[in-house]
Amino acid sequence: MKKICSLLAAVLVCGLVLCSFGCSDKKEPEPDRTEKKTAEGAPDIYNVEVSDSATRGPDTALVTVIAFSDFQCPFSKRSADSMEQLLKEYNGKLRYVFKHYPLGFHKWAKQASYAAVAAGKQGKFWEYYAKLYTDVRNINEELIVRYAEELKLNMDKFNADRKSSETVERVKKDIALGENFGVRGTPTLFINGTRMVGSNSVKLKASIAEHLADAEKIRAGGVNDVYNEIVKHGKTQFKPSKREPQAVSTDVYKAQIPENAPMWGAQDAPVTMILIDDFECPFCGKLYSTYEELKKEYAGKIRIFFVHNPLGFHKRAKEASAAAVAAQNQGKFWEMYSLLFSKQREWTKDPDFTKWLENEAKVLSLDIEKYNTDKSSSKTEELIASNIKYAAGLGAMSTPATFINGRFIGGALPIVMIKTVIDEELARANELSSKTGLKGDGLYNEIIKDGKPAVIRSNRSVNDTKREDPNKIYDVVLTGNEPVKGDPNGKVTIVGFSDFQCPHCQRAFQTFGEVLPEYKKGVKFVFKHFPLFSHDKAKPAALFAIAAKKLYGDAKFYELAALLFDKQQEWKTNPNEKFEQYAKQLKLDWSKIDAEIKTGNPESILKADLDAAAKLGLRSVPLFFINGKKVSGAKPKEFIKSKIDELLKSGK
């Protein structure tokens, strides 16, 4: 659904997402995979037309790779780099076809596609394509023009062509074709008609080799146009396979009603719903309309308590929560709640959000002086902080999260699924009430009294046999070269895999920086490097830090790591120049560090970390192992402390 951004991007339920391997503007980025096999054992074949798209390699090539790509997507770049190598390796046997699929959340992707089409009109598509993929993260108008000038294009024609309606329609045509064939993110490839999603170079090469063997048999039969022979009876549209309906677990969690939480509904309602939300989260906004329907249908049968959980990457979420708390102090929480969600698209784009909130407070006839005082008060800040801690304690690490009589639902599930859970809980609660005479708080406390303390994983099918065991202990290989912080003999060992260019790693590193000083003894933190391919400056930063650690020890390493994370945006350009500055700032000898990087063994130390990550099956960062148990993502301080405290107490 291109109407929804990811980021988060990439993606994304609005959770504390990881840095991972795919570009998508869908709710959940698709992982690297080839098309699933049919019941007969063969993969589906799609008849994707080459048409007038830019191609490399002979039309009679044995294998045709059609790529739907985005010039601002780092994973498309990774795929493009792989294709460069494969075109050389399979010289004359491989044809590469480029289709434009600029994603909505990449600001310059569409303009880059228009420019590439314009360059193609002057016979320089592939030269311009190569320039665009040199620096996908910094594409802008200046670079788009500069690349054309460097290729000595006719600039008047270039500028006219990239802005023409014909060019716009050309790109729209590719996008429509991609959507028809189920393209949800980039890169999406069709290898002799077989669909593959993602930038996994190993799988790509293996797939091409497999198709090459099949194609050679077809060629031996006297067929010249192998591609059209293979796809001529292929599917002309992608239809996703039906998925088994998601089942909500019957596990009950001990989700106590938070103090001072606003309540909607009847005090003695048999079903208690605790809603953990972020006002800036689009999926919470989607769930809002579902809740409005539930309020009407289950009036008198449900009561709803609201818990604030403004996520760190939503810049306006905390202020929105503060405004809602201030409205609550004047008996208008649910009115402000409705305004914030019903007008979410409006206020997330308003340049003066504070003023927007104040205007809405006036619409609600609030005492503005009291509203402003309460909104900025320490009590409001403390209340929101306690709500965040409450959510973390329950393991509700993303939004929206709902507990229905203690049963957990993560995300904005369809209303029919939520109604199913409510109906099941109504029957259970009414039966218990008739036996015990309990109602309201008493009934709810009886239902959850033996509940689990916190959610570990949720919303998986009850038939999902591949669920990862949350108690599994992993064997994390340590070489002795890793920098250590804290108690070297601690009973609790935390091994963290990080990437200096990853924003979520930055947040996680800061969290551990706050947590560790609270444990003078008993806790050891070990840093391991896992620079992602998509972060082109992450490896140089890792080698810099490894060399500094070897020469100056663990304490200086952690000082440098803190600086690299803090200046993350700064050293993405001219990294070596910035690294030299940081070395001087920390009173380190840059010449020695530089020599160590070039002639020492940082590469082998980094390889050992990457090998350890591969053995553990790691695909994203940040990722931690606390006494061998896996913890993914940048978790809040309270969550990490609860894990440490549990281990210290148990002695395990």
Residues 381 and 497 both lie in one domain: no
Kindly state whether residues 225 and 267 are assigned to the same domain: no
Residue 461 pLDDT more than 50?
Answer: no
| CA–CA dist 511, 530 (Å, integer) | 19
Label the pairing between strands 398-399 and 271-277.
Answer: unpaired
What is the rounded average pLDDT of the residues 611-634?
Answer: 89
Q: pTM for this structure?
A: 0.47
Q: Are residues 401 and 501 in the same domain?
A: no
Residue 462 lies in a domain: no
Q: What is the pLDDT of residue 231?
A: 94
Instruction: Give yes or no for residue 572 having a pLDDT over 90.
Output: no
In a domain, 244, yes or no: no
Residue 443 sits in the same domain as residue 576? no
The model's pLDDT over 110-147, given as tens digits with 9 standing for 90+, comes to: 999 999 999 999 999 999 999 999 988 889 999 999 99
- In this model, does residue 290 exceed pLDDT 80? yes
Give yes or no for residue 2 having a pLDDT over 80.
no
pLDDT classification of 242: cutoffs 50, 70, 90: low
Read off the CATH number of the domain in which 179 is found.
Answer: 3.40.30.10
The DSSP string of 440-495 is HHHHHHHHHTT-BSS-SS-S--TT-TT---TTPPP-----S-S-EEE-TT-SEEEE
pLDDT at 28 > cutoff 50: no
Band (pLDDT 50/70/90 cuts) for residue 366 is: very high
- Residue 346: inside a domain: yes
Number of residues written out for the chain:
652
Compute the chain's Rg from CA coordinates: 28
20, pLDDT greater than 50: no
- The predicted model gives 298-302 an average pLDDT of 96
Q: Which two tokens stand for residue 523?
A: 């806790």
Full DSSP string of 414-434: -HHHHHHHHHHHHHHHHHHHH
Is 514 within a domain?
yes
CA distance linking residue 310 with residue 537, whole number of Å: 31
Based on the fold, state whether residues 401 and 332 are members of the same structural domain. Answer: yes
How much is the average pLDDT of 381-391? 91
Question: Can you give the residue range of the structural domain that contains 153?
Answer: 37-231
Residue 337: CB partners within 8 Å, gap ≥ 6?
262, 306, 324
d(CA 313, CA 14): 9
| Number of domains forming the structure of the chain | 3
- Rounded distance, CA 73 to CA 78, Å? 9
Closest of 321, 243, 251, 245 to residue 284, by C-alpha? 321
Q: Is residue 153 part of a domain?
A: yes
Per-residue pLDDT at 164: 97
In this prediction, residue 264 carries a pLDDT of 97
- Quote the CA–CA distance of 181 and 237 in Å, as a whole number: 5
Q: Rounded to an integer, what distance in angstroms lies between the CA atom of residue 178 and that of residue 182?
A: 6
Residue 306: beta bridge partners? 275
How many Cβ atoms are within 10 Å of 234's Cβ, its own excluded? 16
In Å, how far from its chain's centre is CA 137?
A: 17
Q: Quick: pLDDT tens for 449-459.
A: 999 888 864 33
In a shared domain, residues 517 and 409: no
CA atoms within 13 A on the CB side of 506: 14
Residue range 325-344: average pLDDT? 97
Q: What is the pLDDT of residue 11?
A: 38
- Assess if residue 544 is contained within a domain: yes
Which residues are within 8 A (CB) of 480 and not within 5 positions of it... i.e. 6 or more apart? Answer: none
Task: Quote the CA–CA distance of 310 and 326 in Å, as a whole number.
Answer: 16
Q: Would you say residue 28 lies in a domain?
A: no
In Å, how far are 46, 201, 220, 489 from 213, measured between CA atoms?
Answer: 19, 19, 11, 56
Where among 395, 422, 448 does a domain terminate? 448
Q: Cβ(432)–Cβ(446) under 8 Å?
A: yes
Give the confidence band of 257 by pLDDT, cuts at 50, 70, 90: very high
| Pair (497, 612) in one structural domain | yes
Q: What is the pLDDT of residue 9?
A: 37
Residue 596: the pLDDT is 95
| Domain's final residue, options 424, 448, 472 | 448
As given in the structure block, the two tokens for residue 587 are 């009173």
Listed in order, strand segments (DSSP E) in 161-292 are: 185-186, 188-191, 194-197, 263-265, 271-277
Question: Is a pLDDT exceeding 70 seen at residue 528?
Answer: yes
pLDDT band at 14 (very low <50, low <70, confident <90, very high): very low
Question: Quick check: 16 pLDDT over 70?
Answer: no
What is the tally of helices (H) and strands (E) in the chain?
A: 24, 20
* For residue 462, pLDDT beyond 60: no
Q: Are the C-beta atoms of residues 215 and 192 closer than 8 Å to each other?
A: yes
User: What pLDDT, on a 0 to 100 scale, did the predictor assign at position 227?
Assistant: 96
The token pair at 573 is 């350009």
Let me know whether 378 and 425 are in one domain: yes
Summary mean pLDDT of the chain: 88
Please indicate, yes or no, whether residues 323 and 398 belong to a single structural domain of this protein: yes
Contact indicator for 563, 582 with CB cutoff of 8 Å: yes
- Clarify whether residues 144 and 288 are in a common domain: no
Is the same domain home to 423 and 287?
A: yes
Q: Do 276 and 212 lie in a common domain?
A: no
Q: Answer whether residue 473 is part of any domain.
A: no
Which amino acid type is present at position 83?
A: M
Q: Which residues partner with 526 through β-bridges?
A: 484, 495
